[in-house]
Amino acid sequence: MSVSAGAKRVEQLDRVVIRFAGDSGDGMQLTGDRFTSETAQLGNDISTLPNFPAEIRAPAGTLPGVSSFQVHFADYDILTPGDSPHVLVAMNPAALKANLSDLPAGADIIVNTDEFTKRNLAKVGYAVSPLEDGSLAEYAVHPVALTSMTVGALAELGVAKKDAERAKNMFALGLLSWMYSRPFSSTLRFLESKFAKRPDLVAANKAAFQAGWNFGETTEDFAVRYEIKPARMKPGTYRNITGNQALALGLVAASVRSKLPLFLGAYPITPASDILHELSKHKKFGITTMQAEDEIAAIGAALGASYGGALGVTTTSGPGVALKGETISLAIALELPLVIVDVQRAGPSTGMPTKTEQADLNMALYGRHGEAPLAVIAPKSPSDCFHAAIEAARIALKYRTPVILLSDNYVANGSEPWLLPSSDELPDISVEFTTGANGDDGRFLPYLRDPETMARPWAIPGTPGLEHRIGGLEKADKTGDISYDPANHEHMVRTRAARIEAIEVPELEVEDADEHARVLVLGWGSTYGPIGAACRALRQRGLPIAQAHLRHMAPLPANLGEVLAAYDKVVIPEMNLGQLAHVIRAKYLVDAVPFNQVSGLPFTAATLENMLEDVVKNG
């Protein structure tokens, strides 16, 4: 494939947000993915956000059928996929209609005019084509006959018309790649491997890509090409990664670094299923994945595996955790390691399975009968899911406790560049099984605790001499025998709480560039990106603000009280109705102000910037 060097004007930009939008069948996720990959090769910083329709294949051309992928790339480090796209690629009227309201005035819109037929317009309620009624006047609209030009370009290849039409996304990708001067060799490689069994499709898609590139090069409509310099990033090898991928790889790493076989019990559920899919590919690490009959069986099997000495993990989303409560409570009584991953989605009930939310924090902290404390942590970005998974496993293994890891749809499906760690930089999280008696009289005491970690011994079946029985009834301290003694129960309840409180977690760090901020914004989990972007924007405007982000929700970092006390005002933005704020207020009696959005969408940086500006200025 040859692509001419081009002679158009080249402009430098520092950042761009592009949204590819089309029908579910138009391949927008793949297009976005490829563009991201090309962009990554260039060394830009990147953040992406896919947006899937809820239906598998909603009727073609309808609003619910629209699928989109947004990519934000820049010559500096960025924190979010961008609030509003500079460029919208709209493959049909539905895609235009569904996304238009997110565009700022002046944005570029590239539309596939071939799809703007009467019928398609009618499907989404356009009486007149918006391309013709002047309603898009404030945008820079680029009408492109994407489908027919693709078909035309492939005429000589002799591929079926349907296949030719399908390649139109590669035409679009070619055009955008040209516009933003992306290197495309990885895309060509990708096409070769994706269609390895269909050389005709390899050729067709490559040709479509080139046609798109050439179209940019030649047509008048695109007068400028843009360049975005590489971002200054820490040296090292990077890959682009989604949160779910990172989480799965983090679990593989946890297995490797704990030297324990990983057992995943899972039941498919959006948006957590991909972790199961990914882990099921890595059997050579000794990883067993079991698709159980339901969420209760999934966690049950994971707990059984933990009992047998594996790193037991279960992955699900909110409705699944709601079912697992009784078994989590058992795991707490048994004091066995267990990692429970909740990739949160919008609730209650079935809610909006493909949308994001942080509303399972309460359930993670409190969603079980009795006093049933456990550790809770949350990753702050897609790549952080990797490290959070290892941290969850570390705590579970070292302290013999279930740990809930609260990811969410936003980090799970969003992506960013990830500086690859090498395995030897990862913590050694291995622990020892107990192999000998620990009682004075040569007896084995399954609930005699390690004085440092308060963990009980992990004596797995197969260990001679340590035969013992455990269960969900209250256990006598040390011996683990069934006990109804009131003083013992009081002791055990308080001990279970104390041992979670005693888990060592890193101190909370505060980003307070100028060190004279009076307002602290405190977040947790996936809001890190937009909060960070908002703070940065405020600081650039000379408004001082401090940011702290919680990774550990239980136990909370020891210095949190101190941190909170150092500021006049604490604001807590959350994608729920104020669940962390509630905890902070109760524990520290600080009049923390909740700022909540529960729309199924992540915060935009602008929303937070406005809100924080108001707080900083008006207190």
Of 53-92, binders to ligand SF4 (CB under 6 A) are 56-57
Q: Which does 586 bind (CB under 5 to 8 A by kind): a second copy, another protein, ligand TPP, none?
A: a second copy
Pattern of binders to a second copy over 331-360, x per CB under 8 A?
-xxx---------x-xxxxxxx-xx-x-xx
Tell me how far, at minimum, the Cβ of 354 lies from ligand SF4, in Å.
14
Residue 56 or 487 having the CB closest to ligand SF4: 56
319 binds another protein (CB under 8 A): yes
Only segment of 147-155, 206-214, 320-328, 540-548 that touches ligand TPP (CB under 6 A): 320-328
Q: Which does 484 bind (CB under 5 to 8 A by kind): ligand SF4, a second copy, another protein, none?
A: a second copy
Closest alpha carbon to 145 in 174, 116, 125: 116
Triad 171, 67, 417: Cα angle to 5°:
75
Question: Which distant-in-sequence residues (6+ apart) come within 8 Å of 62 by Cβ?
Answer: 94, 123, 124
SS3 210: helix
Structure tokens at 48: 């992406």
Beta bridge partners of 492: none
The β-bridge relationship of strands 288-291 and 9-13 is unpaired
Cβ count within 10 A of residue 507: 11
Cβ count within 10 A of residue 455: 18
Which residues 334-363 are close enough to bind ligand TPP by CB under 6 A? Answer: 350
Of these, 25, 143, 286, 325, which contacts a second copy (CB under 8 A)?
Answer: 325
Pattern of binders to ligand TPP over 240-279, x per CB under 6 A?
---------------------------xxx----------
Pattern of binders to another protein over 504-533, x per CB under 8 A?
------------------------------
Residue 326 or 613 having the CB closest to ligand TPP: 326
57 binds another protein (CB under 8 A): yes
Query: Which 8-state DSSP code applies to residue 338?
Result: E
C-alpha to C-alpha distance for 598 and 358, rounded to whole angstroms: 8
Of these, 321, 445, 563, 612, which contacts a second copy (CB under 8 A)?
Answer: 321
Which residues 583-612 are close enough to bind a second copy by CB under 8 A? Answer: 583, 585-587, 589, 591, 597-601
Of these, 319, 325, 544, 600, which contacts ligand TPP (CB under 6 A)?
Answer: 319
Closest alpha carbon to 548 in 526, 524, 582: 524
Of these, 11, 14, 55, 591, which contacts another protein (CB under 8 A)?
Answer: 55
Q: Which does 585 bind (CB under 5 to 8 A by kind): ligand SF4, another protein, a second copy, none?
A: a second copy
C-alpha to C-alpha distance for 524 and 347, rounded to whole angstroms: 19
Of these, 174, 216, 312, 320, which contacts ligand TPP (CB under 6 A)?
Answer: 320
The residue nearest ligand TPP at its CB is: 269
Q: Is 565 exposed, middle or buried (0-12, 13-18, 19+ CB in 10 A)?
A: exposed
Residue 7 or 56 having the CB closest to ligand SF4: 56
User: What is the rounded radius of gyration, in angstroms, for the C-alpha atoms of the chain?
Assistant: 27
Which residues 59-88 are close enough to bind ligand TPP by CB under 6 A? Answer: none
Tell me how far, at minimum, the Cβ of 331 lies from ligand SF4, in Å.
27
Residue 311 or 365 having the CB closest to a second copy: 365
Question: Which distant-in-sequence residues (6+ apart) come within 8 Å of 512 by Cβ?
Answer: 520, 544, 545, 546, 547
DSSP characters for 85-115? -SEEEESSHHHHHHHGGGPPTT-EEEEEGGG
Of these, 31, 67, 214, 289, which contacts another protein (CB under 8 A)?
Answer: 289
Q: Is 476 exposed, middle or buried (0-12, 13-18, 19+ CB in 10 A)?
A: middle
C-alpha to C-alpha distance for 90 and 92, rounded to whole angstroms: 6
SS3 492: helix
487 phi/psi in degrees, rounded to 5: -65, -35
Residue 169 or 356 having the CB closest to ligand TPP: 356
Closest alpha carbon to 426 in 280, 282, 278, 251: 251
Tell me how far, at minimum, the Cβ of 373 lies from a second copy, in Å.
8
6 binds ligand TPP (CB under 6 A): no
Triad 279, 292, 414: Cα angle to 5°:
40
Q: Which does 330 bind (CB under 5 to 8 A by kind): a second copy, ligand SF4, ligand TPP, none?
A: a second copy
409 binds another protein (CB under 8 A): no
Tell me how far, at minimum, the Cβ of 601 lies from another protein, in Å.
22
Q: Are the CB atoms for 47 and 526 separated by under 8 Å?
A: no
Distances (CA, A) of 185 to 1, 42, 65, 474, 488: 10, 12, 31, 63, 67
Residue 290 or 570 having the CB closest to another protein: 290
492 binds another protein (CB under 8 A): no
For 406: left if phi > 0, alpha if psi spans -120 to 50, otherwise beta; the answer is beta
363 binds a second copy (CB under 8 A): yes
Pattern of binders to a second copy over 484-523, x per CB under 8 A?
x-xx-xx--xx-xx--------------------------
Which residues 162-221 are close enough to bind another protein by CB under 8 A? Answer: 186
C-alpha to C-alpha distance for 259 and 334, rounded to whole angstroms: 22
Beta bridge partners of 67: 22
Pattern of binders to another protein over 130-169, x per CB under 8 A?
----------------------------------------
Tell me how far, at minimum, the Cβ of 2 lies from another protein, in Å.
23
C-alpha to C-alpha distance for 205 and 212, rounded to whole angstroms: 11
Q: Are the CB atoms for 92 and 23 separated by under 8 Å?
A: yes
First-to-final CA distance of the chain: 60
User: Which residues of the shown chain bind ligand TPP in the complex (CB under 6 A)?
Assistant: 267-269, 295, 319-320, 323, 326, 350
User: Which residues of the shown chain bind a second copy in the complex (CB under 8 A)?
Assistant: 54, 64, 317-319, 321-323, 325-326, 329-330, 332-334, 344, 346-352, 354-355, 357, 359-360, 362-363, 365-372, 471-474, 484, 486-487, 489-490, 493-494, 496-497, 576-577, 582-583, 585-587, 589, 591, 597-601
